Amino acid sequence: MKVTGKCHCGSVTFEALADPDHVAICHCADCQTLTGTAYRVSVPVARDSFVLHTGTPAIYVKTADSGAQRAQAFCSHCGSPLYAYAVDQPVTLGLRVGCLDQRAELRPRRQKWCRSALPWSMNIADLPRRETE
């Protein structure tokens, strides 16, 4: 499916082709730190389907304990995470579902790095809810 996305302030806009069957939640400690929350939701897209329409994302390269390097793209104005890719093989981008206009249609199909999951993040269905704040 065609997806369109933007950062929070609208400086960076883009589109790509994504397969909704590949949406995943990552519970790793890096994703927790980089998002400032319990996990990250991403969908992989082929780099050649990605079209940057406006803006130029800033890039932060994170080096894992294994030595693997992942570039983290974000808006330099508002800080919104946009996508990531392996520095040594940038053929696939992991788009951050939260910045996509079609995020409601991109339901996660799997979870990874569950050993790092915050225990409370695995079941929040019973928490009191408010429709707005």
> What is the pLDDT tens value at each position of the chain, 133 positions in all?
999 999 999 999 999 999 999 999 999 999 999 999 999 999 999 999 999 999 999 999 999 888 889 999 999 999 999 999 999 988 999 999 999 999 999 999 999 999 999 999 988 888 899 999 8
Domain spans of the chain, in order of start: 2-119
Run of H or E including 59: strand 58-63
Residue with tokens 């883009």: 14
The pLDDT of residue 124: 86
**pTM of the predicted model, to two decimals?**
0.91
- Length reported for the chain: 133
- C-alpha 69/C-alpha 65 separation (Å) is 9
3-state secondary structure of 79: coil
- C-alpha 41/C-alpha 76 separation (Å) is 21
CATH top class, domain 2-119: mainly beta
Compute how many other C-beta atoms are within 10 angstroms of the C-beta atom of residue 101: 12
Compute how many other C-beta atoms are within 10 angstroms of the C-beta atom of residue 73: 23
